[in-house]
Amino acid sequence: MKNYKKVYAAFILAGGLILHGCNGIFDDLAINPNQPSMGAYFTSPSAVNDAVMTMYGYMSTQRCLGASGSKTTIIRSDEASSNSDYGKPGMFGADLNASYYTIEQPYTLMYTTASQASYIIETAPSVDFSGNEELRNAYMGEAYFWRAFAHYYLLI
């Protein structure tokens, strides 16, 4: 019985040393040399403009606001369908769950929009706009608007 306790203690000690020794390796592997950091991205007013335009790209993505079919505007009844897979959960099947893409994608896109807007709000004031405060305020206003819109959408 004593031998089992010694072997068990040796395994726990060895496992602890192995797991503790890998911390630095995982940190080094997490850095992608081909991907620039966000800090290096915001260096000019045109880069801030690109970041603001990216938010519009998220918002105009199909299914961002939950409208996923091209015929959703012409179908005027809840008893009609375009026979696409957008009507599958609830109408043509009982496999409605939280991972279905028409449910998951709008929330993912809204969280991404809110995150992008927050990063613009944090970093745009440190960018040199060469005295053009109106442009900086316009970008900040758009970021504040999209962040508030995304938070409102996620709330309702």
pLDDT tens, 14-60? 777 776 666 666 666 667 666 666 667 788 899 999 999 989 888 88
Exposed e or buried b per residue across 124-143, where buried means at least 16 C-beta atoms within 10 angstroms of its C-beta: beebebeeeeeebeebbebb
Name residues whose C-beta falls within 8 Å of residue 138's C-beta, 6 or more positions apart in sequence.
none
What are the distances in angstroms from CA 130 to CA 43, 44, 101, 127, 143?
12, 10, 44, 9, 20
Q: Please answer whether residues 139 and 124 qualify as being in contact, where contact means their C-beta atoms are separated by less than 8 angstroms.
A: yes
pLDDT tens, 88-116? 555 556 666 666 666 778 888 889 999 99
Give the residue, 11 or 29, on which the prediction is more confident: 11
pLDDT tier at 134 (50, 70, 90 boundaries)? very high
